[in-house]
């Protein structure tokens, strides 16, 4: 089945831009939940896979389109895997009666918790699970992971979320210094997308 239009289950413009760039060579029209004014889906799952499936299934049903959803997060060893599936909510705060996501504050909180933990091991990894739902078919899943560590000082102004405090293994710079192409080649989302593209697009050419 040739996919001509694909709905991305996200309102995060940084994530949407990354995905659009990765899919650009395949001639698929990418629209986002934000573009279509679709609601956020409540993430009630306890794993990345469960949350990704919830979003892909619900928005595919609402829109009638093939839908790709991801759930991803930062898992820190010294914090027993937190923030994990709660990475986005970890960054939430209330301002003027509205809930906003403030990753500057989230990074400060993360460093403070690591310092308070007393651990010298700041190992961490990013995980990503993609769920791909075509109406009338079962969800298909693709997973990616990148290992690294948290650094005490934010560095770099690229990327989004926790990127400025995460240094992937094998590099001497945080994701905050990676351009989009460089990050896509090694990131958790990039690795999951490589599997997705190989299975759903490259193999169909």
User: Which of 11, 13, 30 has its CA nearest to residue 201?
Assistant: 30
Q: What are phi and psi of 159, to 5 degrees?
A: 70, -155
Burial 63-96 (b: 16+ CB within 10 A, else e): bebbbbbbbbbbbbbbbeebbbbebbebbeeeee
Q: Which residues are catalytic?
A: 71
**Segment (H or E) for 123:** strand 123-133
């Amino acid at each position: 089945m040739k996919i001509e239009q694909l709905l991305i289950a996200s309102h995060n413009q940084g994530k949407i831009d990354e995905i659009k760039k990765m899919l650009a060579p395949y001639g698929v029209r990418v629209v986002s939940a934000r573009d279509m004014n679709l609601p956020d889906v409540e993430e009630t799952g306890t794993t990345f896979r469960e949350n990704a499936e919830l979003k892909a299934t619900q928005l595919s049903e609402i829109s009638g389109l093939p839908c790709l959803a991801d759930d991803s997060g930062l898992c820190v060893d010294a914090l027993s895997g937190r923030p994990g599936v709660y990475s986005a909510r970890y960054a939430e705060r209330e301002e003027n009666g509205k809930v906003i996501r403030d990753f500057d504050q989230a990074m400060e909180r993360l460093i403070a918790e690591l310092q308070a933990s007393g651990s010298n091991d700041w190992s961490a990894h990013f995980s990503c699970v993609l769920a791909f739902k075509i109406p009338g078919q079962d969800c298909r899943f693709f997973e990616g992971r990148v290992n690294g560590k948290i650094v005490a000082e934010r560095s770099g102004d690229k990327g989004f979320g926790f990127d400025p405090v995460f240094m992937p293994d094998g590099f001497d710079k945080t994701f905050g210094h990676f351009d989009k192409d460089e990050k896509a080649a090694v990131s958790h989302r990039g690795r999951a997308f490589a599997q997705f593209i190989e299975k759903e697009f490259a193999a169909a050419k």
